[in-house]
Amino acid sequence: MPYVPNTDRDREEMLREIGVGSVEELFAAVPKGLRESVELDVPGPLSEAELVRHMKRLASMNRTTDDVVSFLGGGVYDHTVPAVVRYVMGMPQFYTAYTPYQAEASQGTLQSIYEFQSLICRLTGLGVANASMYDGASAAAEACLMALAITRRNKILVAGTAGPSLRAVVATYLEASDIEIVELPETCGVTDVSAVDAHLEGAAVLLVQHPNFFGLLEPVDELSVKCADAGVLLVASVDPLSLAVLKPPSDYGAAIAVGEGQSLGSPVGYGGPLLGFMAADKKYLRRMPGRIIGATTDTMGRRGFVMTLQTREQHIRRAKATSNICTNEGLVALGAAVHLSLLGKNGFRELALQVTSKAHYAALALSAVAGVDLRFEGPFFREFVIDLSVPARRVKEELGRVGIWPGISCGCYYDGMENSLLVSVTERHTREDIDSLASGLEAVISPGGSS
């Protein structure tokens, strides 16, 4: 047992010190009937060499974004993760530490998360941010709970163009309440502004994803005006990379901005860990869920950092806490802080410009193929939907055989979109990759349409 230092002799001596005759006696409080029956049927023990062989075999049974040309996105994006991000996240001083309960011995964690909060504030334009949430979906759900508590209303409006998993998690968080969830209809791939009025009365929040699941920019200015007039809080679920070029949520009156931060230095990792973030107007700080790091001073007048406003949290307020969250995604938030610091003001903007340029190059290249059309006309950031003259599933299968994954079948999530693909592009795609997708589509779809 490599991880347990006690030898048999240690155990004997320690038992003697305790004053019991055997380890079994230490478990005397456990009813005997429960203790005697246990004989676990789990595999192992494996040596390190055996473990590595097994794990590598499992890993080899997965095709990764390095093995194929993949245009999968939909909320989890395959960006290059800089070596420095992995390096810092791999420092045991960070990853083997606990939640910074003893601030004086946890300044590394505390300051880096304060910096993360500050960076999120700079991206979103809002005054305060918390120390992270599980993912963008739960952050959106928590934002709705927060808005419900602030407004004391009992209805929420969720844009139907927000990601399906985000909407699913929001529904789960509200399942036990009497809250009415209204899904706002779309037109041309974005929220139908004219349909909003009918639902505004009595609503606590309008939750919109911008850019939305289809990659399209939402009419946030118009939604914002409607919300303001009706006293509805606007919650924007934003792609942090888009904020390098798009106007911040503060500019269109969002009370709360949330989002998925996976693209800030995390691998795709089969979808986890992800990184939820939340920023809000400063006046809502005391309503926020989760940990918040604040600056203070020590007895010598030096700057230091602590967890602050803890009376909002479950370990103090228990049933009356603003949220049940305890463990968050601290290390991933650290990675995001490193990533943003490394790319910096110019690098981050350049990354967004590259992603936008490649996505638009791809949209042009693909829509030039006979039998392929852009489904929506509105502006998009990093991904877009194409309509095919044949079922998307068939195209995926055939292109998969030549090592191209053309995107997500929208039909899995939206009725009537069986012929549509959501194509996502990052800076990792070369022009050649995109051209190969175009020629691949051409080969599969034409001539004649259905082979």
Partner 1 sequence: MSDPRKNGQTVEPTVFELSHPGRSGYRLPALDVPPADLAEVLGASNLRSTPPELPELSEPEVVRHFTRLAEMNFHVDRAMYPLGSCTMKYNPRINEEMAGLPGFTGVHPETTAAECQGAISLIYNLGRMLAEISGMDHVSIQPPAGASGELAGMLMVRAYQADQGNPRSKVIVPDTAHGTNPASLTLAGYEAVEIPSGPDGRIDVQVLAAAVDEETAAFMITNPNTLGVFESRIADIAEIVHGVGGLLYLDGANLNASLGVVRPGDAGFDVMHFNLHKTFATPHGGGGPGSGPVGVKSLLADYLPCPVARRDERKALGFEYDFDYDRPKSIGKVHAVYGNFLVAVKAYAYILTLGPQGLRRVAENAVLNANYLQKKLEPFFELPFPGLCQHEFVLSASRQKEQGVRALDVAKRLLDYGLHSPTVYFPLVVKEALMIEPTETESRASLDRFVDVMKAIAEESASSPELVTGAPTGTPVSRLDESLAAKELDVAWGKT
Residue list 390-419, contact with partner 1 (CB under 8 A): 396, 400, 405, 408
Distance (Å, whole) CA 432 – CA 435: 5
Q: Residue 150: is it exposed, middle or buried by C-beta count within 10 angstroms (0-12/13-18/19+)?
A: middle
Please identify which residue in 69, 113, 144, 423 interacts with partner 1, judged by CB under 8 A: 113
Residues 235-264, mask of contacts with partner 1 (x by CB under 8 A): --------xxxxxx--x--------x----
| By CB under 8 A, residue 318 contacts partner 1 | yes
Query: Shortest approach of partner 1 to residue 40 CB, angstroms?
Result: 4
Please identify which residue in 160, 185, 253, 379 interacts with partner 1, judged by CB under 8 A: 379
Distance (Å, whole) CA 446 – CA 435: 16
Query: Shortest approach of partner 1 to residue 337 CB, angstroms?
Result: 7
Applying the rule CB under 8 A, the residues between 343 and 372 that interact with partner 1 are 343-351, 353-354, 356-358, 360-361
Query: Shortest approach of partner 1 to residue 96 CB, angstroms?
Result: 4
Token output for 366: 């693909």
Q: What single string gives the DSSP state of each residue in 119-187?
A: HHHHHH--SEE-S-BS-HHHHHHHHHHHHHHHHT--EEEEETTS-HHHHHHHHHHTTTS--EEEEEPEE
Applying the rule CB under 8 A, the residues between 285 and 314 that interact with partner 1 are 285, 291-306, 308-309, 313-314
CA distances from 368 to 340, 363, 382 (A): 36, 8, 19
**Segment near partner 1 (CB under 8 A), from 68-76, 153-161, 198-206, 366-374?**
68-76
Please identify which residue in 230, 342, 374, 390 interacts with partner 1, judged by CB under 8 A: 342
- Give the SS3 label for residue 237: strand
**Are residues 211 and 245 in contact, defined by beta-carbon separation less than 8 angstroms?**
no
Rg (CA), the chain: 25
- The C-alpha torsion from 333 through 359 and 354 to 112, rounded to 10°, is 0
Applying the rule CB under 8 A, the residues between 73 and 92 that interact with partner 1 are 74-76, 78, 82, 84, 86-88, 90-92
Nearer to partner 1 (CB atom), residue 204 or residue 293: 293
Under DSSP, the state recorded for 216 is B
Nearer to partner 1 (CB atom), residue 201 or residue 221: 221
| By CB under 8 A, residue 8 contacts partner 1 | no
**Segment near partner 1 (CB under 8 A), from 113-121, 149-157, 225-233, 441-449?**
113-121
Please identify which residue in 122, 181, 374, 389 interacts with partner 1, judged by CB under 8 A: 122
Nearer to partner 1 (CB atom), residue 61 or residue 198: 61
Give the angle 426-431-437 at the CA atoms, nearest 5°. Answer: 85
Neighbours of 66 (CB within 10 A): 8
Please identify which residue in 60, 198, 401, 447 interacts with partner 1, judged by CB under 8 A: 60
| By CB under 8 A, residue 377 contacts partner 1 | no
Neighbours of 173 (CB within 10 A): 17
